Amino acid sequence: MTGEYVDPWDGRLHLESAHALYLHVPFCVSKCAYCDFTSYATAEGDARMGAYASALSRLVEEAEAAGLLEGFRTAYVGGGTPSLLGPEVLSHVISTVCAGRGLSELTFEANPESLTDGLLDACVEAGATRVSIGVQSLDDDELSRLGRVHDSARAISALDAALRSGLDVSCDLMCGIPAQTGASWADTLSRVMSMGVRHVSVYPLMVEKGTRLARSVEEGEEVVPDEDEAADRMVEAERVLGEAGLRRYEVASYADAGHACIHNEAYWTGVPYLGLGTSAASMLTAEGYLRARLVCPDLPEPDPSWVRVRLSCTSDVPAVARARGLADLAFDVEGLTSREAAAEDLMLGARMMVGIVPALAYHARATIGGGPVDSTFSHLVSEGLARMTPEGGLEPTERGWLLGNEMYGELWDLAEGTIAHSAR
C-alpha cells in the first residue's frame, strides 16, 4: 500500500485552541522554608482570595467565548494552596470550569491543613475528579524542617478523607530532606501505599536561592543530603511504589493503571495549554497566539518564524483580581521556531516512560535534520542514558532517570537558535 506519510506530531503545532487549562492560586497559610514558587502567605478567609478567584472565573469564561479553550478536555487548579480558598470559593471556580463541558479530568491541589470533608464534598459536587495533596513526608521532624504547616497525623487524616470522597487521589512526596534517613523515607512510602493511594509524585528537595532553607544551609544549620543519597531515595521510591503496583510513567510520577494525570501528560506531549492567574504559564501554537491577540491586542506581533508561543502572566495578585478581561493582564512572551519547538518536545518526551515516541523522533528528524538528531541519540545511548526502541524512538534507562538534566540539556542543545523574548 502506498500513501503519503502524515506527520502526526505536526498536527499539534497547528491547533488553534488550548486543550488543557491551568489556573494558578498563589495563596498559602505561610511560606515553606524551601519554596520559590509564586505564593503568598495569606490568612484564611482573606477577602482578596475571593476577588482573585472571581476574576479567574471571569477570565475562563472570556477565554472560552474567544475560542481559546475550544474543546479543552482537562483542567488543573494549582498553587499555592487552592484548598485555602475554602469550600464555597473553590467549588465556584471548579463549577465555572466544569459547567456542561464534560471534562475528562479536573484536578485541584490541596494541602492537608485546609483539606476538609466539607471542601471535598463541595468540589466533588462542582465537578472535580482528582485531588493532589502536598503531603511531602510522614515524619514530623522532616515536615518541621521543611517549614510545612501540617504534621503527619493531619496528613494522614487528609489522605483518608480524600480517599473516602471518591476522588482520584495523588500524593506529593519529597526526598533529600535534611535529616531524612533511608528508614524514614521507606516508612513514609509504605504508609502512603498502605492507605490505598494510586498516584504518587516524588520530588527531590532543591535548595533554591533566596529561600529560608538556602540561608540555613549557608549558615550550617541544615545539611541537605548529597546527590548520591537523593538518587538512592529515588531508587527506593521506584522499588516500594513498584511493589505496590504503581508504575513510573514520568520522571517524577508513578501511577496504577488508569490513574495517570491526563492533564500533566499534555505538558509533556506538545499539547497546547492555557494558564491563567499570577505567574501562570501558557503554551500556544502560532495560530492559537493569533487568536489570543484578538482579545489581547497589546500582545506583540509574532515573528513569522514562530510556530509556538510561551506566555507567562506577569500581573500581580491585585492586578489579576481587578482584571475585567484578558486584555487587562500583562504577559512575558517567548516565541519558538519549529526547530526550537521540536527540541523542546524531544526534551519533554524524554521525561516520560514511553520516551521519545517514533512519531516525535520522525518529526524531529524532518524539522532539525536526521544528522544532528541521530548523533545526539547515539551519544545518549553511548552514555547509558537512553536506549533506542525497535520502532526508532528513544527511551530513558535507569541511569537516564537519575541523570535526567544531562539528557534534557543535550536534547535542548538541538534547538541552537535563540528564543525571542518580549513583554507587554
Q: Which residues bind ligand SF4 (CB under 6 A)?
A: 28, 31-32, 35, 37, 39, 79-81, 111, 134
Which grid coordinates belong to 252? 517524577
- Which lies closer to ligand SF4 via its Cβ, residue 240 or residue 252? 252
Q: Which is nearer to ligand SF4, 173 or 364 (CB)?
A: 173
Identity of the residue, 79 or 396, whose beta carbon is nearer to ligand SF4 in the bound complex: 79
Q: What crossing angle do the helices spanning 117-126 and 152-165 adopt, rounded to 10°?
A: 30
Q: How many CB atoms lie within 10 A of CB 356?
A: 28
Of 37 and 412, the one with the shorter C-beta distance to ligand SF4 is: 37
Eight-class DSSP state of 80: S
Comparison of 32 and 49: residue with beta carbon closer to ligand SF4? 32
- Residue positions counted in the chain: 424
Phi then psi for residue 152, to 5 deg, are -70, -35
- 331-337 and 386-388 beta bridge pairing: unpaired
Least spacing, CB of residue 203 vs ligand SF4, in Å:
10
CB of 224 to ligand SF4, least distance (A): 16
Alpha-carbon distance of 282 to 311, in angstroms, equals: 5
Least distance to ligand SF4, CB of residue 134, Å: 6
DSSP E strands, 138-277: 168-175, 199-204, 247-250, 253-255, 273-276
Min separation Cβ 28 and ligand SF4, Å: 3
Nearest distance from residue 111's CB to ligand SF4, in Å?
5
Q: Which is closer to ligand SF4, CB of 64 or CB of 139?
A: 139
The Cα 286–Cα 292 span in angstroms is 10
**Nearer CB in complex with ligand SF4: 80/288:** 80
Residue 64 Cβ, how far from ligand SF4 at the closest point, in Å?
Answer: 27
Rounded least distance, CB 26 to ligand SF4, Å: 8
Shortest separation between residue 132's beta carbon and ligand SF4, angstroms: 11
In terms of C-beta density within 10 A (0-12 exposed, 13-18 middle, 19 or more buried), how is residue 225 classed? buried
Angle value at C-alpha 27, between 262 and 29, nearest 5 degrees: 115
- Closest C-alpha to 24, from 132, 146, 113, 109: 109
d(CA 316, CA 78): 16
C-beta of 69 vs 207, nearer to ligand SF4: 207
CB 162 within 8 A of CB 169: yes
| Run of H or E residues at 386 | strand 386-388
